[in-house]
Amino acid sequence: MKLGYKLLLSILTLTLFLGLTTTAWAADSEAQGGLLRGVVTTIAGDSLTVQSNRAEVTLLTDDETTFEVPGIKDASLADIATGDFVVIRAARSEAGPLARHVSVIPDGSLKDRTMRGIISAVDGAKFQLRTRRGQVTVNTNENTVFRIPKVEEATAADLEEKMPVIVMGQYEQEEQVFNASAVAVIPAKIVKRHMVRGKLSAIEGDTLVLTTGRETEQEQRVQTTDETTFRVPGIENATIDDLSEGDPILALGRKDENGEFAAKSVAVIRRRPRRVIVRGEVTAVSDDSLRLKTDHQGEVQIIITENTRFRIPGVQDPGLDDITVGDRVGVVGHKDDKGNLVATGIGKLRPQQGSNN
């Protein structure tokens, strides 16, 4: 499974941030329990081997291991395939690392499975998260892993309003909620110490000079080394030579006492199109588009591409052929320059009460 740029960046950001909290997120002890992310390389008997960004780890499964595979109810180890990107909640056992919960992440969809924001309200096992795109309801359960500084064995009961968090999980389009597999509280001082964002104004040998700040511009020097990784959209195995003045940069690493920043990773961040979500009834279907009578925005033309993912209950490998006139669907995507909605995901919804569909 080839990981896209945004997927890699999301994993990197999440791994680094979660590993910086006072309670370790298993970044340095993947075989000792915690949260493991990586690609499945081998499945043998009741075990699976995962290649993470640091090491190859073999985990056992047992009758209590739970599995989450998109489109498969009551999934098991038999539904996991080599090449799958997985997130695993692991525990220690005498026989070795034991997988307690295994979640398969569809290729390229981690950008839809991570969120950052501020908790605005807590209600038992769910909370409201204020993000740049608005308010989101987040559900947690017994499988959700929590990491809160200075709190051992944290649970949802330890969450409070105004906490800044990163949440990893799955957005359920039909229910309009985000089901969390992991929640980490990230204090602002940690973010400030380990992340720098700005516009690249100059490259001086191995040092990047960034212009940071919005109201008051400041200069931040970022030191790179042979171990620094670079992420540039559209370029594999990128290096510092692939950076250009004016690039928007996100650097992850550590700032020392003198204010110098040593980068572990440098990424060029392209502005993502604003995500749009609509729901409505399909009024027309063609080879590469469909027409939708939405609940609030009138008629909308939906453009289908090779990257559009479909989700239809009870249908394996669903596609546009499984959508018919009269179906109610939810669509996630972004507007193009003509005002059409380019779909990244389409899910078939349950018929409205009183409908004959």
Domains of the chain: 5-107 (2.40.50.320), 113-186 (2.40.50.140), 194-268 (2.40.50.140), 276-348 (2.40.50.140)
Give the confidence band of 24 by pLDDT, cuts at 50, 70, 90. Answer: very low
pLDDT of 258 > 90? The answer is: no
Give the confidence band of 160 by pLDDT, cuts at 50, 70, 90. Answer: very high
Rounded alpha-carbon distances, angstroms, from residue 286 to 78, 261, 292, 302, 303: 36, 53, 12, 10, 10
Average pLDDT on 106-125 reads: 74
Looking only at Cα atoms, what is the longest distance across the chain? 68
pLDDT of 3 > 50? The answer is: no
Give the confidence band of 72 by pLDDT, cuts at 50, 70, 90. Answer: confident
Give the confidence band of 271 by pLDDT, cuts at 50, 70, 90. Answer: low
Give the confidence band of 315 by pLDDT, cuts at 50, 70, 90. Answer: confident
Average pLDDT on 173-182 reads: 80
Give the confidence band of 351 by pLDDT, cuts at 50, 70, 90. Answer: low
What span, in angstroms and rounded, lies between the C-alpha atoms of 154 and 175? 27
What span, in angstroms and rounded, lies between the C-alpha atoms of 18 and 145? 11
What span, in angstroms and rounded, lies between the C-alpha atoms of 51 and 49? 7
The predicted pLDDT at position 107 comes to: 52
Lowest mean pLDDT of 190-194, 252-256, 277-281, 335-339, name the range. 190-194
pLDDT of 234 > 90? The answer is: no
The predicted pLDDT at position 282 comes to: 95
Terminal C-alpha separation, the chain: 37
